[in-house]
Every structure is written in C-alpha cells, then in structure tokens.
C-alpha cells in the first residue's frame, strides 16, 4: 500500500496563537506531528501552510529537508489546502491522501496507516475515517464531542454534535435524565481521501447540514459520498486545543 500524508497548518488560532510552533520538549509542535506521520508507512509526508514561519519548521526527520508546500492564504479549511497540494503535485486521481491535523503531537502512527488501509480495502468508498467508543455520559452529552453512527457495512450514516444514537427509554424526563450511552462512537478527526473525491468535495459549496452542525464531513454525506468508518486500533489521545491540553502534552513529551 502506498499513500501520502498532508498536514495542513496555519499560524492563526483563536485560543492558541502560533499553535504549530509552540514549544514542546524543545521542539515545535509541528515537528512532533511530522515525526508521527513519518513513522506511519507513508511514502511522502508534506506540510501545507501559508506561513513562512511554519514552513521553516517543517523538516522531515528522515532527510532533514524541508517538506513545506506553500498554499493560498484564502483557504477556509485544511481540506481545501490539501486539495491544492494534490493538484499542484499532479497526484493521480486514485492516490490515497491522509489528512493529519497539525495539533496532534501525540497521534499514534498506527492510526495514520490504519485509515489509509481502510480506504484501500473499500474500493467503492470516497473517504475513510476512524472512531472510538464513547467512555462516559458526560462525553456523550458534550456538544464538543462529535459522534458518528454507521451502517452494518461500516459506512457513516450521520455525524453530529448531538448525542447519537439516542436511547429513548434512558431519558424518560428529558435530556439531562439520560443514563445510557451504549454503542455510541466518538469521531476522530483523521481522514483518508482518494484524490478524485478530495477534489470533488472541495469543489462543492458548503451544505445545509454542514452549516447547521459546523461539521465539514456532512458536506460529503449530503452529496452522496461514501465514508467508511472503523474503530481505532489503539486508543487515541486528544489534540491540543487549549492551554490545559498544551500543559498536559508537554508533561508527556517533555519526559520522553
């Protein structure tokens, strides 16, 4: 199996400005992400950015060469940035590309290879992604935790910030009285695309469901694209979204 990894990275962040360059154990965060991606079995790892400071830090640990690709500053999402890279590189429409988020310094390399392999095994799928079981009622009810429901074939039926699937008999007195989260799956923000599907997706306008839930993957579902989902092979750590996350990750990687 051959696949590419593209890490979209931007300097601006509402909660943590310059997030990809934040120091973790003496290295910028983006370097930890690159190192994880480089261990995944990908034949190429690239960083897509519009910022020269991030580009300067995007060094492949295997070759010590820059792997930055400068992209337009006008992109609204990381997916758009990856699509530009695929187009500029002239990748074949069947090429598998994995979107690895630039704020996942603890990402297990095995998950990158898993999502690429999942898409390769499903020739009829446009995209692949991963999930993990919801572990608590608090997590189930949290709108910041995206949930996914799949069919028997593993294809995604819906993604939502709402608690799905909802056990009606577990909440006889309304939302706050829910006691069950059995079978719920938390969506992980890692995707594999075929280039053809990637270009199709980014050419579509935002969909109604996407705008309602603020979930880009719903654009693909509403357009009739097939997303296959598998449970992550290893427990995934959370990414760095807040100062508290950064402190926690620094404690883990600073000691490694």
User: Of the candidates 70, 48, 128, which has an alpha carbon nearest to the alpha carbon of residue 96?
Assistant: 128
- Where in the chain are the domains? 4-235
- The region of weakest confidence among 3-12, 168-177, 240-249 is 168-177
Say whether pTM exceeds 0.95: no
pLDDT averaged over every residue in the chain:
93
Class of the CATH domain delimited by 4-235: alpha beta
Task: Centre a 10 Å sphere on the Cβ of residue 135 and count the other Cβ atoms it contains.
Answer: 12
Tell me the C-alpha distance between 172 and 201, whole Å: 40
- pLDDT surpassing 60 at residue 244: yes
- Could you tell me if 54 and 21 are in contact, meaning their C-beta atoms sit under 8 angstroms apart? yes
Question: Residue 50 contacts by C-beta under 8 Å, 6 or more apart in sequence?
Answer: 10, 70, 71, 72, 73, 75, 81
* pLDDT tens-digit map of 70-100: 998 889 899 999 999 999 999 999 999 999 9
Give the model's pLDDT for residue 142.
92
Query: Alpha-carbon Rg of the chain, whole angstroms?
Result: 18
Average pLDDT over residues 146-172: 93
* pLDDT tens-digit map of 15-71: 788 999 999 999 999 999 999 999 999 999 999 999 999 999 999 988 899 999 999
Phi, psi of 181 (to 5 degrees): -135, 25
* pLDDT tens-digit map of 97-118: 999 999 999 999 999 999 999 9
């Amino acid at each position: 199996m051959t696949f590419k990894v593209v890490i979209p990275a931007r300097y601006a962040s509402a909660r943590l400005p310059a997030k990809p360059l934040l120091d973790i154990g003496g290295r910028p965060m983006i370097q930890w992400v690159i190192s994880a991606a480089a261990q995944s079995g990908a034949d190429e790892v690239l960083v897509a950015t519009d910022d020269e400071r991030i580009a300067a830090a995007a060094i492949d640990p295997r070759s010590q060469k820059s792997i930055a690709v400068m992209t337009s500053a006008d992109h609204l999402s990381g997916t758009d940035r990856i699509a530009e890279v695929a187009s500029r590189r002239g990748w074949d429409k069947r090429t598998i590309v994995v979107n690895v988020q630039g704020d996942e310094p603890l990402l297990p390399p095995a998950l990158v290879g898993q999502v690429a392999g999942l898409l390769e095994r499903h020739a009829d799928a446009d995209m692949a992604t991963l999930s993990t079981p919801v572990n608590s009622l608090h997590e189930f009810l949290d709108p910041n935790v995206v949930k996914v429901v799949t069919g028997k074939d593993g294809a995604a039926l819906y993604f939502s910030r709402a608690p799905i699937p909802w056990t009606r008999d577990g909440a006889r007195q309304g939302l706050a009285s829910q006691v069950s989260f059995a079978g719920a799956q938390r969506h992980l923000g890692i995707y594999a695309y075929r280039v053809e599907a990637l270009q199709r997706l980014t050419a579509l306008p935002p969909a109604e469901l996407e705008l309602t839930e603020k979930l880009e993957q719903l654009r693909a579902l509403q357009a009739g694209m097939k997303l296959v989902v598998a449970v992550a092979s290893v427990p995934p750590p959370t990414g760095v979204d807040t100062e508290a996350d950064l402190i926690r990750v620094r404690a883990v990687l600073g000691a490694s």
